[in-house]
Amino acid sequence: MIVDGGSFLTRRAHAREKVDDTNLTGMERLGYAAATIGQYDLYNGTEYLMARMEGRGFPLVSANVFDESTGELVVKPYVIVERRGIRFAITGVVDPGTTTGAKRGPEMPDITVANPVASLQDIVPSLREQADFVVVLSQLGITQSKDLPLQVPGIDFIVVGAQGTHSAKPYEVEGTVFLQPGQRGQYMSDYRLSFDETGAYLGYEGSATVLDDKVPADASIALLLKEHKVEVSMLQKRTAAERASGSRMTQAEPATYQESCIGTEGSCRRCHQEQFDKWSETAHAHAYVTLEKSIQATNPECLRCHSTCYIDLPADGSVAVAAELRNVQCEACHGMGTDHARDGTYGAVSGEACLACHDKENSPDFDLATYLPKVTH
């Protein structure tokens, strides 16, 4: 039984609807049993969320998200799922702070988010009567989630959402088992329940699996992802062509770069040939090629770290990075060439410069001492 702890939609503008629809199609193909509403899912309002979920093969559940105009719950409060004769009641809650817009995203005046503890206190007793196990998909983060077993008796499992870090092993609070898979689909919490021949529950075992290259790709999902990337790339190329011909007027500003950025490999090469040769053998020198191979060369989110002096490209990917600014060139790490000085104050590379791209989202295992020698020249 696969469930999702919420925030499965994207907040980013880059091909938003296509990204979300592809993601949800993948969840369907993998056989998700249920998901809950997270703060990212509400970023564009409930109308957008409902449009994305229409006709999907798995339900959204939430016990504390209400339509402000009607006072009714936006989605089902729970779902009962049966696996091999065992019934699981699955519900979910989200942080009321989601509606303030203070965390991420605009305000959402079309919904009201009730107190998650009170909402669960109302529903869990009924779920205990209908199912063998009660599962809560919690979009509350780790601190609030850990308080739930103390305030709401009867919860067997809590899947912790809205929490960036993962837990390699399950843990318990007041007898409630916590599964904490982290963010961005980098880990999957894989746990198995054991029963004896009479059906009595014996316990659980499992861990969080790192979804890296060692995990075989599902052929259906791999094909879906490739088709998605090709479709988005073709759409962006058409948009770029229309923009270039002047047939499509948009409000997006043209691509801009800092005038103080030299941005060409040859500029530094004239005086630093030895360093240039060494740099040419590093992954930084081929950073743009990796985007082309993965059909992401028009994705502004990726170009931010695979080009040099990138400042502002339209979010729809309709303008490409100029050829002379592709790859992670000298100025990406050493600073603007116009700041060059011969007194030894220019060019030092700090860990902070690396962390601009090697952050927790894109490079969770980054270690400066390990990575820096690979690009030192």
Which range in 147-156, 264-273, 285-294 is most confidently predicted, on average pLDDT? 147-156
Report yes or no: 66 and 72 within 8 Å, Cβ to Cβ. yes
Q: pLDDT higher for 207 or 137?
A: 137
Sequence letter at residue 315 = A
Report yes or no: 305 and 325 within 8 Å, Cβ to Cβ. no
Share of the chain above pLDDT 90, in %: 32
- Other beta carbons less than 10 A from residue 33's beta carbon: 17
Residue ranges per domain, the chain?
Answer: 2-210, 221-375
Region class of 255: left (phi > 0), else alpha (psi between -120 and 50), else beta? beta
- Other beta carbons less than 10 A from residue 117's beta carbon: 17
- Other beta carbons less than 10 A from residue 19's beta carbon: 16
Model confidence band, residue 257 (pLDDT cutoffs 50, 70, 90) = very low
Q: Please name which of 376, 305, 369, 309 lies closest in space to residue 347, comparing C-alpha atoms.
A: 376
Q: What average pLDDT does this structure show over 66-95?
A: 93
Model confidence band, residue 201 (pLDDT cutoffs 50, 70, 90) = confident
Model confidence band, residue 74 (pLDDT cutoffs 50, 70, 90) = very high
Which range in 35-49, 71-85, 182-196, 296-310 is most confidently predicted, on average pLDDT? 71-85
Sign of torsion over alpha carbons 305, 311, 315, 319: negative
Helix (H), strand (E) at residue 244: helix 219-245
Task: Tell me the two tokens of residue 59.
Answer: 């339900």
Query: CB-based contacts of 213: which residues, under 8 Å, 6+ apart?
Result: none
Classify domain 2-210 at the CATH topology level.
Answer: Purple Acid Phosphatase; chain A, domain 2 (3.60.21)
Provide the pLDDT for residue 105.
Answer: 42
Q: Is 151 exposed, middle or buried (0-12, 13-18, 19+ CB in 10 A)?
A: middle
User: What tens digit of pLDDT does each residue of 1-32 get?
Assistant: 999 999 899 887 778 899 999 999 999 999 99
Q: What average pLDDT does this structure show over 312-325?
A: 69
pTM for the model stands at 0.70
Q: What average pLDDT does this structure show over 53-60?
A: 94
Which range in 113-122, 170-179, 207-216 is most confidently predicted, on average pLDDT? 113-122
